[in-house]
Amino acid sequence: GQSLEQPSEVTAVEGAIVQINCTYQTSGFYGLSWYQQHDGGAPTFLSYNALDGLEETGRFSSFLSRSDSYGYLLLQELQMKDSASYFCAVRDRDNAGNMLTFGGGTRLMVKP
Amino acid sequence: DGGITQSPKYLFRKEGQNVTLSCEQNLNHDAMYWYRQDPGQGLRLIYYSQIVNDFQKGDIAEGYSVSREKKESFPLTVTSAQKNPTAFYLCASSRSGTSGRRLYEQYFGPGTRLTVT
C-alpha cells in the first residue's frame, strides 16, 4: 500500500514564505506532484518532481528528496488568493495502471 | 476552449435511487478518472479508464459503476448499494502514459456535489 502525510493546516501572513511538507510511503515511486484547490473548486495542477532537487515556477517551488521519501511545496510572496488547500500525490508502482494517491491536503490560510 | 464539464453542479436524490453523474472532456485525453472528496479530506479514486471500452477499479469502487463508450465521456453511476453516497465528485482527465509529467498533470472538472437523503 501507500500513504502520504502532510500537515492539516498552515497559517501565514501576506508577503511571507510558507513551506508545506509531504512524506510518503510507497513500495515504488515515479514522482511527486502538487495540486491546489480553492474551496468548492476543482484541483489544479501546480508541479511535478521525478528527480531530486528544486523545481521553480514563479512564486511556487517544489522540492523532492527520494532518499528521504520527502517533498515540499514552497510558496513565496504570499497573496490572499493563495488561501486554499494543497495536496501532494504519488503513483505507487504496485498499482495496476495510472492511479494517483493523494494526501489528505493542507489548508493554507493567508492573513493580512 | 478545451476543458472538462460535469453536470449538474448540485444533485439531490432520495436514498435507494441510482443516480448518474455526467463527465465530458474535449481535451482529446485518453485517460479519465473519477474521484470522491469528503469534507476536509483528500481525493480518493473510484474508477479510472485509460482507453475507450476499458476501465479499472480504484480504491473505493464498491457501490459505483462506470462506462467508457466514447473517448469524450465517462459517466459515473452511484448505485443504491453505495452506503454513504453524499460527497463531492470530481472527474479528471490526462494524456495517456505510464510515467512522467503526462500522468501527473490531471485536469479536473468543476465537480458535482451529491446529496442523498
C-alpha B34, offset from chain centre: 2
Is residue A4 very low, low, confident or very high in pLDDT (cuts 50, 70, 90)?
Answer: very high
Give which of B67, B81, B80, B82 is closest to B22, Cα–Cα: B67
Residue A96 has pLDDT above 60, yes or no: no
- Whole-number Å distance between alpha carbons of A2 and B44: 13
> Which residues 48-77 in chain A show a CB within 8 A of chain B?
48, 50
Judging contacts by C-beta atoms under 8 Å, the chain B residues touching residue A101 are: 45, 59
What's the confidence (pLDDT) of residue B18? 93
Q: Report pLDDT for A1.
A: 64
Predicted confidence band of residue B40 (pLDDT cuts 50, 70, 90)? confident
pLDDT at A108 over 90: yes
Q: How far apart are CA A38 and CA B9, in angstroms?
A: 16
Query: Residue with C-alpha cell 462506470?
Result: B66
Which among A48, A104, A105 has the least Cβ separation from residue B104?
Answer: A48
- Find, in chain B, the residue whose alpha carbon is nearest to that of A31: B100
- What is the DSSP secondary structure assignment for residue A93, as one 8-state letter? T
Mean pLDDT for chain B overall: 91
Query: Model confidence over A18-55: pLDDT tens digits?
Result: 999 999 998 778 889 999 999 999 999 999 998 999 99
Q: In this structure, which amino acid lies at residue A7?
A: P
Q: Residue A92: what pLDDT?
A: 66
